[in-house]
Chain A
Amino acid sequence: MHKIKRLGCWIYTGLLFLTVISAQAEEMMDANEIVAKANLTAYYAGEDGRTEARMLIKDAQGREQKRQFTILRKDREEGGEQDFLVVFSRPADVRNTVFLVAKKPGSDDDRWLYLPGLDLVKRISAGDKRTSFVGAHYFYEDVSGRGVEEDTHQLLDSDGQYYVVENTPLDPSSVEFSRYNAWINKVTFLPEKIEYYDEGGEVYRRVEVLASTKIQGYTTVTKSRVSDLRSGGETLLEFRHQAYDLGMEQSLFTERSLRKPPREWLRRAK
């Protein structure tokens, strides 16, 4: 009797264990896979895409600046190399300035800047990707994505609505953070909140998705915010008029488009 009871206990425990396993198999256990999928969701929707964007940059004293631009993007390979063309329309002093970036995960990006006043195509060094993008609190890397292979990833929590993944840089000297945590939506795989920690373990920078929607079946951010918790400054970023899988040619991402912005892709579909 006693033996039978113990056997039953074992079987019960075994069943319980199996159930737990299968329940978790529906979710993802591997932090690398989660991060890879989130990276595709956030930066690789469709084969190509266009979006209009505007930023409201606020400093700690409440002074505001604005930027408005259109981004055209084409993926060379899913999760890998991409080309970006960023055409500024406002404010007046940067109007018609154009950025061309060939993003190369694991290597230095190729970058060009077109200055319309001088008709100058300037090649710019890849530089530090964790510095301000056109005066905003966003970094270049926030706009074009950080290589997933640059950090190690550890799943901290998967209980609620989010996978919480801790990311630690392989080369700490190349970045200003000691680690960052990302809250990745379990359903859409959109990273909806990222918090950056300094050496002392304090959160000093936060990037949040404030609104998102489905466009052509792709989860798309429409509003986000980055907060510099040290200075008190923040930048609001809004996206509109997004469209994917437009059939952009590779030749769109060349010097021709710097000197003569491609109107057929910059203007909105009627």
Chain B
Amino acid sequence: MQHNVVFHLLALMALSSTVSAADDWGDDSWGDEPESSIELHGFIEAGMGGRIQTDPQLEDDDLTLAELRGRLESERYVGDIRLSAKLDLYADGVDDALQVNLREALADISLGQNADLRIGQQVLTWGTGDLLFLNDLFAKDWQSFFSGRDDEYLKAPSASLKLSYYGERANLDVVWTPVFTHDRFIEGERFSYFSPLVGQQVAAPQYKLEPESPDENLKNGEFAARFYGSYDLWSGHNTEWAIYAYKGFWKQPNALNRYGRAYFSPMRSLGASLRTNIADGIGYTELAWYEGEDDSGSDPFLPNDQLRFLLGYEQEVAPKLTLGLQYYREQLMDYSELAANDGDSPFRPDETRELWTVRMTYSLLQDNLVLSWFSFYSPTDQDYYHRPSMKYRFDDEWSLTVGGNIFGGEQVHTFFGQFEEASNLYARLRWSY
């Protein structure tokens, strides 16, 4: 099996280089090739990253990113149906394995003038937050995000069916994911995590988080819906509004069954967002109500209901320099019930978790150099997560990204504080074709 994957990876690289050679933009190349021909695109990327300190739980694992990745993308039309596929093959030196990641394999089908159907493996995103998600309950890949892979990998794909209807004043998206697709959460292999049960930082192999997933039957499918539109609220400024709903499971295994095993407990959510031009920038706000199974909030092994709120603003403050600021608040419901029933746990989360984020993005050298800094800071948890990065585009094919994921906090059990030992620096060199 492994040899097979290596063979495909090599074949992919060989194929890529021939495609590139044929893709020279001569004076007459306007993409005049007939539509039936298949175009291949993608990239090959080498990535390396390591901890800036030793994690006592993962003493022999200094590397947080070590991979050679090949991406193959293609799209074509069969009649009016668009087919698109994106496949990643990568040799992962941290997992010591060859991995296949099908990012996309979908068909876009038009159902008349006002409706579209997208079916298959796909990445899905909606909502207004910048790296904060309230009503977007599609799968995320936190391992990729923390280890410095490209931003696109933060969103994990799911095998879903998305039906979109476009009306005069409002539109509707309904997404059905028949098999529950959870986040790629921190499970203790690449990064260790804090276990409230053990009362300390833990890691694989002993504490590899292997939660129980819901049975794969139609009853356990996920439904997500967005009803949205826009209108000119004042002085001709287009204001976008949306109402969201979700029925499925928590995307992180934050419930414990009676044997002490983690699992994904059922949850529903309802929310709304607004986004518009304010002053010289973009202002947005989003609200979400998460309702789980613990109606009274008294079961410490089930997540309590939550109210999530976001307020954000982004503006280009100087030419090519964008500044973004977000305030996020997560409120646990029935907190006194939780406090009365968790045996006075020292690791009980606060009733309110507040988070501020700052983004600075500066493009220079004709957009070939992009400097970016994104920080999360929680005054309630007293922890932080900084994401500095620098991307240089040598030409249309080669680019180099270097950056860091720097975590820290006052306490060992908080959201970002637990990943202090995961802090890492990385570099990625990419050749696109």
Contact = CB atoms under 8 A, between A and B. Distances in A.
Interface residues of B, number: 56
A107 B320 CA distance: 19
B222 to A, nearest CB: 16
Contacts of A102: 238
Contacts of B122: 119
B216 interface: no
Contacts of B155: 118-119
Interface string B386-417: 00000001011101000000000000000000
Interface stretch (A12-20, A58-66, A205-213): A58-66
A126 B152 CA distance: 24
Given A89-B31, A123-B275, A125-B314, A118 B320 contact: no
A126 B277 contact: yes
Interface string B275-304: 101001110100000000000000000000
B282 A119 contact: no
Interface string B290-324: 00000000000000000000000011101110100
A17 B82 CA distance: 69
Contact of A118 (B123, B319, B396, B433): B123
Interface residues of A, number: 49
B275 A91 contact: no
Contact of B77 (A95, A255, A263): A263
Contacts of B108: 260
Max chain B C-beta neighbours (<10 A), residue from A64, A89, A117: A117
B164 interface: yes
A233 B123 contact: no
Given A118-B155, A123-B282, A124-B282, A135 B42 contact: no
A132 interface: yes
Contacts of B342: none
A77 to B, nearest CB: 12
Contact of B320 (A131, A137, A240): A131
A103 B171 CA distance: 23
Nearest to B278: A125
Given A110-B277, A125-B315, A125-B322, A91 B125 contact: no
A250 B188 CA distance: 51
B280 A126 contact: yes
Contacts of B150: 117
B63 to A, nearest CB: 25
A233 B320 contact: no
A260 B123 CA distance: 13
Nearest to A115: B152
Contact of B25 (A66, A110, A134, A256): A66
Contacts of A254: 166
Contact of B277 (A89, A108, A120): A108
Contact of A125 (B171, B281, B363): B281
B30, B108, B151, B314 interface centre (most CB from chain A within 10 Å): B30
A256 B320 contact: no
Interface in A85-119: 89-93, 95, 102, 104, 107-108, 110, 115, 117-119
A8 B38 CA distance: 83
Interface in A126-146: 126-128, 130-132, 134-137
A102 B238 CA distance: 9
A68 interface: yes
A91 B396 contact: yes
Contact of B235 (A54, A107, A128): A107
Contacts of A35: none
A117 B73 CA distance: 11
Contacts of A89: 31
B35 interface: yes
B366 A119 contact: no
A96 to B, nearest CB: 8
A93 B25 contact: no
A195 interface: no
A166 interface: no
Contacts of A93: 43, 393, 396, 399, 432
B240 interface: yes
A267 interface: yes
Contacts of B123: 117-119
B125 A128 contact: no
A92 B284 CA distance: 32
Interface in B43-63: 43
A57 interface: yes
Contacts of A90: 25, 31, 396
Nearest to B108: A260
6 contacts: A90-B25, A91-B397, A92-B396, A110-B237, A132-B366, A256-B171
Interface of A: 52, 54, 57, 59, 63-66, 68, 89-93, 95, 102, 104, 107-108, 110, 115, 117-121, 123-128, 130-132, 134-137, 233, 240-241, 251, 254-256, 260, 263, 267
Enumerate the 3 nearest inter-chain pairs by beta-carbon distance, A residue then B residue, closest first. A117-B152, A91-B396, A127-B316
Given A118-B125, A123-B284, 17 more contacts: A52-B30, A54-B30, A65-B395, A92-B41, A92-B396, A104-B236, A108-B280, A118-B123, A121-B126, A123-B275, A124-B314, A125-B280, A125-B281, A128-B320, A135-B368, A254-B166, A260-B82
